[in-house]
Chains A and B, each alone.
Chain A
Amino acid sequence: MRSARFICLVTFAMAPLIVRADDLLDRAAESLSFSGFDDQVRARLSGLIDFEFYHFTHEAPGLIFTDDHSLLSPRFTLFFDAQLGSNVYVFAQGRVDRGFDPGDGDLGIRLDEYAVRWTPWQDGRFSLQAGRFGTVAGNYVARHLSWENPFVNAPLIYESVTGIYDAEAPSSAGEFAEGLVEDKYDYNPVVWGPSYATGLAVSGKIGSFDYAAEIKNAALSSRPESWDATDDGFRHPSISTRIGYRPDIAWNLGVSASEGAYFTGAAAHELPHGTGIDDFKQKVLAQDVSFAWRHWQLWAEMYEARFEVPRVGNADVLGWYVEAKYKFSPRFFGALRVNQMLFDNVPDGEGARQPWGHDLWRIDTAATFRLTPHAQVKLQYSLQHEARVNDAVSHMIATQFTVKF
């Protein structure tokens, strides 16, 4: 904790230097751009440096992994973007941090995203992309990085773990009904963050409609370790699609659907006799809407998810959120988000039915101050309520300092 405080102090001491280094960061951006072959090949390195600090009154919420009530999470993200001619775009994202999700593990380095996109026509009617990249489902992925996200964390459906355990199948309905009894990291949310799984995607725009479809090696709920093609390969692919409609540039409405096996290979030997991993799927139907005008931005999503659970049946959950952001001044904006997750009933193993998770709602508020075009400070407060007997209400404060170059 002492080292966390020390890093925090250093971070805030750095803030004035960053403000003065604005011109330097602009020049750094120019120096990190390369071109060749008469400008037909252009590439650029850019990045984010994040320091996040969380404090929570109860156990760590969502996809934060620590046994303490506070956590400091530094992260360095490097992006590579390259345009090859007018038809080929390549991108990659590498990170140095304490784990894909905030946690108290050791610092490590990873390649989280890499993809190549081919766009044969200039009007955007069709693109083909291959690699490891964020899901096309929903509308959250486009703003999941710290600079674009008005909050420090993600909406509930992208980070609140459910009773789904992808490495082991429950031995009985009674065991499943017990809920989260193991280490939190063993369980899965409805969508694990941006879901950078590996696969192929097609996308494009026809008139006011846009479309996207992907085939990937892991389901939306799958954990980061499953996203690499080297884990389980493509033996249990997952398919996701989104159809979008833009009546004008202010509005974007979409419907997404996804289906894929959610168990990892480790669970295969625990499945009922005569069944395989592909017999138990995560099925998702989602609706999203976004609106922007002047200094307002609004987003909302609703996810209806079904997990086919061996020896239990269907475990359904409904999750939604509404998020608003307003710029009060060129450098200051605020955001408010209301989230809720509602769990359906499943057999409890004793002849009755009960919810397979605690219904919960959370209100997130955040304020962001842009120190310069390259640096910002964010402060968030979250109030969460879970439908359980004890400790129903919990609080979280989070702050995030970001430098973009």
Chain B
Amino acid sequence: MKLIACLLLAPILASAQCAIEGHVELPKTKSAPVMTKRYEIVTKGGVLSTNPPVAVVYLEGNFAKPASLPVKQVVQKDFLFHPSLLAVQTGTKVEFPNQDDAYHNVFSFSPAKRFDLGRYRPEDKPVPSQLLDKPGMITLRCDIHEHMRGIILVLDTPHFVISDPEGNFKLKDLPAGSYKLKAWISSRTTLEKPVTLTKGSTTKVQLP
């Protein structure tokens, strides 16, 4: 039934061709974290890359859910989560491969998904994964390396995009109608603006 609905909706959505482009005011870039190495016999470097702030911009509304969603990954590499911010639609399966030659222990206490993957080798199969079936923000942490932080934003919409580090974004292939456009910047800041999309137009938005 869902498949038929998707097939029927697909040409309508494709013909809508609405878009929103704009800019989100982002906070200043944070410094890279300090890796705690007090009791490690083997110390490897100390330069961790900085993750510049970006926004997740999404359109809130009642949209049909696809029958299946592509599997996404959050990789543990160089003692960081890559990407450090992932946006997915509700129902997406996310894998957590470990590509370091050391253990990590990914866990989340977030109400949207509470899990602890334990310690696993890079070659262990299957790669530990989680089905994210509830919308909300999931904070990823490592039980071994306290500086490691990642965020997965689980959204009840298929229309979302991550801005570039300057705050610019473009949402394409949107259906015409009136919606709420939201820009998630951090756990404490989500900007929003009502938008009305007309068929074939590109709407320009500045947030806030």
Contact = CB atoms under 8 A, between A and B. Distances in A.
Interface of A: 23, 26, 30, 33-35, 39, 42-44, 46, 79, 81-83, 85-87, 89, 91, 93, 113, 117, 119, 122-124, 127, 133-134, 136, 141-142, 144, 203-205, 210-212, 242, 244, 248-250, 292-297, 327, 329-331, 370, 372-373
B116 A330 contact: yes
Per CB-CB distance, the 7 closest pairs between chain A and chain B, nearest first, are A35-B31, A330-B116, A294-B118, A124-B44, A122-B45, A205-B42, A44-B34
B39 A134 contact: yes
A370 B103 CA distance: 21
B68 interface: no
Nearest to B37: A89
Interface string B25-64: 0000011111111111111111100100000000000000
Contact of B40 (A87, A93, A142): A142
10 contacts: A42-B33, A86-B46, A89-B37, A91-B37, A119-B46, A127-B42, A144-B39, A203-B43, A292-B103, A294-B119
A46 to B, nearest CB: 8
Contacts of B101: 249
B199 interface: no
A117 B35 CA distance: 13
Nearest to A118: B43
B17 interface: no
B46 A242 contact: no
B176 to A, nearest CB: 38
The size class of the interface chain B forms with chain A is 35 or more
Nearest to B100: A249
A119 B141 CA distance: 27
Interface of B: 30-47, 50, 101-103, 107-109, 114-116, 118-121, 139, 141, 146, 187-188
B121 A83 contact: no
Contacts of B50: 39
Nearest to B104: A249
A86 B119 CA distance: 27
A240 to B, nearest CB: 12
Nearest to B117: A294
B107 A44 contact: no
A133 B50 CA distance: 30
Given A91-B37, A123-B44, 19 more contacts: A26-B187, A34-B31, A46-B36, A81-B36, A85-B47, A87-B46, A122-B45, A142-B40, A144-B39, A203-B42, A205-B42, A242-B41, A244-B41, A249-B101, A249-B103, A250-B121, A295-B116, A297-B119, A372-B109
Nearest to B113: A330
B127 to A, nearest CB: 13
Nearest to B34: A44
A117 B37 contact: yes
A123 B101 CA distance: 12
Given A86-B47, A142-B40, A30 B30 contact: yes
Contact of B114 (A34, A91, A330): A330
Q: Which of B46, B103, B107 has the most CB of A within 10 A?
A: B46
Nearest to A294: B118
A203 B37 CA distance: 13
Where chain A touches its partner, the secondary structure class is: strand
B109 A330 contact: yes
B43 A89 contact: yes
A23 B187 contact: yes
A124 B42 contact: yes
A327 B116 contact: yes
Contacts of A35: 31-32
A35 B32 CA distance: 8
Nearest to A22: B109
Contact of A91 (B33, B38, B116, B146): B38
Given A124-B43, A330-B109, A248 B31 contact: no
Contact of A113 (B38, B44, B139, B188): B38
Contact of B141 (A122, A133, A204, A373): A373
A150 to B, nearest CB: 12
A386 to B, nearest CB: 31
A42 B146 CA distance: 16
A81 B114 contact: no
B98 to A, nearest CB: 9
A292 B143 CA distance: 13
B52 to A, nearest CB: 12
Contacts of A46: 36, 146
A127 B103 contact: no
A295 B118 contact: yes
A293 B45 contact: no
Nearest to A134: B39
Contacts of B39: 134, 141-142, 144
A39 B119 CA distance: 31
Nearest to B50: A39
Contact of A89 (B33, B46, B139): B46
B88 to A, nearest CB: 20
B162 to A, nearest CB: 21
A329 B41 contact: no
